[in-house]
Amino acid sequence: MAENGGEKVYAAATANPYGRVDEELASVAQREERRKKRMKYVAYGAAFVVFQTAVILVFSLVVMKVRTPKFRVRSATFQDFKAATLPTNSSFTTQMFAELSVKNPNFGRYKYQDSTVESFYQNYKVGEAAIPKGKASFKSTKKFAVPVDLSSTNVPGDVLGSELSQHAWIPLTSRATLNGKVRLMLIFTKKKSTNMSCTMNLNTSSKQLQDLECV
Ligand SMILES: *[C@@H]1O[C@H](CO)[C@@H](O)[C@H](O)[C@H]1NC(C)=O
Ligand SMILES: *[C@@H]1O[C@H](CO)[C@@H](O)[C@H](O)[C@H]1NC(C)=O
Ligand SMILES: *[C@@H]1O[C@H](CO)[C@@H](O)[C@H](O)[C@H]1NC(C)=O
């Protein structure tokens, strides 16, 4: 029995004289397999790093970037417009209802403090109004209206007179600064101020706003 078994083993060992070569081939194949696996892991790792970097880049460039909100006059209407148009002594008074907007492009709300909007004819101040504090939620535009009493009391009568003898409109500018804070990820806050600077014409015959432009 034992001899038979020994013979069998012997026979098996001699049946394939290339056993060592096979073993070597097998280990080469294994090593190749392992190398391939390693390469796969390296590739996965690299892809992950690239992915993470992209995520962080997008996050810091898009989400965490603090942009300046846009503060502007959207429209305005005028009531009780009164004007004296003597070339040497012109004047006007009117009540402007201005619709303003604060456009917040940030991924977080913008909260601003009380402020003031001022209106000018040339460099003469013709009106001012209070802007109550408020907030514009993330990626949205807050709109509100303010009444502004306009009067040319500070404008020399002949300056306005020469303007109105040339055309039937009064060029006006509105300026304001909002100071506030942008909140990101519910915890980080960053101070951000924004300026309004709008030019417009008050058409004295239609008594309407024209050519409104904000920068
Ligand atoms: C200009 O007109 C106003 C009334 O519209 C008058 O009160 C004022 O005295 C005038 N001024 C001049 C310099 O004529
Ligand atoms: C707003 O205007 C003031 C001067 O009037 C300037 O110092 C400031 O930098 C401006 N802010 C922005 C955000 O443009
Ligand atoms: C002012 O309004 C009148 C009446 O609507 C119009 O005929 C005129 O063209 C306007 N002026 C300007 C400068 O557009």
**What is the per-residue pLDDT across 25-79, written as a single tens digit (0 to 9) for each?**
778 889 899 999 999 999 999 999 999 988 888 888 777 788 999 999 999 999 9
Q: Which residue minimizes the CA distance to atom 2 of ligand 2?
A: 195
Cβ atoms within 10 Å of 102's Cβ, excluding its own: 23
Averaged pLDDT for residues 128-154: 94
Q: What confidence score (pLDDT) does residue 19 get?
A: 59
Mark whether 175 and 78 lie in a shared domain.
Answer: yes
How many separate domains does the chain show? 2
- Asked whether 169 lines ligand 3 (CB < 6 A), one says yes
Mark whether 45 and 102 lie in a shared domain.
Answer: no
Q: Could you tell me the residue range of the domain that residue 136 belongs to?
A: 70-214
Q: What confidence score (pLDDT) does residue 165 get?
A: 87
**Total-model pTM:** 0.74
Does residue 17 have a pLDDT over 90?
A: no
CA angle, residues 79, 125, 178, in degrees to nearest 5: 90
Q: Which residue minimizes the CA distance to atom 8 of ligand 1?
A: 89
Q: Residue 77: which H helix or E strand, with range?
A: strand 70-86
Assigned domain for 204 exists: yes
Mark whether 20 and 107 lie in a shared domain.
Answer: no
Q: Residue 48: which H helix or E strand, with range?
A: helix 19-58
Assigned domain for 3 exists: no
- Asked whether 195 lines ligand 2 (CB < 6 A), one says yes
Give the tens place of pLDDT for each residue, 65-115.
889 999 999 999 999 999 888 888 999 999 999 999 999 999 999 999 999
Mark whether 116 and 185 lie in a shared domain.
Answer: yes
Mark whether 157 and 100 lie in a shared domain.
Answer: yes
Name the domain boundary from 33, 48, 63.
63
Does residue 14 have a pLDDT over 90?
A: no
Mark whether 155 and 124 lie in a shared domain.
Answer: yes
Mark whether 114 and 161 lie in a shared domain.
Answer: yes
